[in-house]
Amino acid sequence: MEILLKDNVAKDGEYMTEPQAISVTAPAAEDLPKEKFDELEAFIDSMETTKGALIAILHKAQDIFGYLPRDVQLYIARKLGIPGAEVFGVVSFYSYFTTKPGGKHTLSVCMGTACFVRGADKVIERLKEKLNVESNETTEDGLFTLKDVRCIGACGLAPVVMVDDKVYGRVREEDVDDIIREYRSQEGQQ
Ligand code: FES
């Protein structure tokens, strides 16, 4: 991907707060379509000022791309006229941001109080063991990303596991195998 940059020089050590006019001339080597950059650019350009807006922009970028690959981080840095290191620093500080593409399915285990006291810790441990990942990691086959999340508002069903938008309630440790099998069988896996 080539990023063309115009008029993006910070003066006197101050970062510019106006969105910068840049254009992405080709998609990156990875699967990063130009339309997604266009969407991100429109979001940034709609802001009156980008000062203090880096986190909001990163959230939007992660919504659009699903993750924050290096090219997207660099794009944001150039667009805002700030150092790439500043963007990388924020991305690596907040665990919410991820620089790796997620799995086909997001498997979220609620670790809110109601779920926790009803055994969510055992459920997530079992999932980690079965999938051979830690929280916020993706399985080797790219099928699942495991996440621990806060209360999702279904405490009456605690402990709760979500796969994408589907809610599984009163999940016991031993139910984990069936949930995984359900999605693997859709892929023709065992
Ligand atoms: S604590 Fe898990 S849904 Fe509320």
Among 123, 148, 155, which is best to mutate for testing ligand 1, by the most ligand atoms less than 8 A from CB? 155
Residues 6+ apart with CB under 8 A from 103: 138, 139, 142, 143, 144, 145
Q: Which of 81, 62, 73, 58 is nearest to 28 (CA)?
A: 73
Cβ–ligand 1 contact at 115 (below 6 Å): yes
Over 90: is that where the pLDDT of 39 sits?
yes
Chain-centre distance for alpha carbon 70: 13
pLDDT of residue 22: 54
For the stretch 2-21, pLDDT in tens is 444 334 444 444 455 666 55
Task: List, as one string, the DSSP characters of 69-134.
Answer: -HHHHHHHHHHHT--HHHHHHHHHH-TT--SS---SEEEEEE-SHHHHHTTHHHHHHHHHHHHT--
* pLDDT in the model for residue 100: 84
Distance 141 CA to ligand 1 centre (A): 29
Q: How far is the CA of 151 from the centre of ligand 1 (A)?
A: 4
Question: pLDDT tens, 86-143?
Answer: 999 999 998 778 888 889 999 999 999 999 999 999 999 999 999 999 998 899 999 9
Residue limits of CATH 3.40.30.10 in the chain: 105-186
**CATH architecture assigned to 105-186:** 3-Layer(aba) Sandwich (3.40)
pLDDT at residue number 114: 97
**Parts of the chain belonging to CATH 1.10.10:** 3-93
* % of the chain at pLDDT higher than 90: 69
What's the whole-number mean pLDDT along residues 54-81?
A: 94
Q: 3-state SS string over 59-79?
A: HHHHHHHCCCCHHHHHHHHHH
Which residue's CA lies nearest to atom 1 of ligand 1? 112
Q: Which CATH number fits domain 3-93: 2.30.29, 1.10.443, 1.10.10, 1.10.1740?
A: 1.10.10
Choose the weakest-confidence range: 26-35, 42-51, 161-170.
26-35
pLDDT for 19: 60
| Res. 33: pLDDT tops 50 | yes
The pLDDT score that the predictor gives to residue 185 is 93
For ligand 1, whether the C-beta of 160 sits within 6 Å is: yes
Q: Would strands 105-110 and 161-163 be described as parallel, antiparallel, or unpaired?
A: antiparallel
What is d(CA 157, CA 67) in angstroms, rounded to the nearest whole number? Answer: 30
Give the integer Cα–Cα distance in Å for 166 and 182. Answer: 12
What pLDDT score was predicted for residue 18?
61
Residue 171 beta carbon below 6 angstroms from any ligand 1 atom: no
User: pLDDT tens digits, residue range 52-63?
Assistant: 899 999 999 998
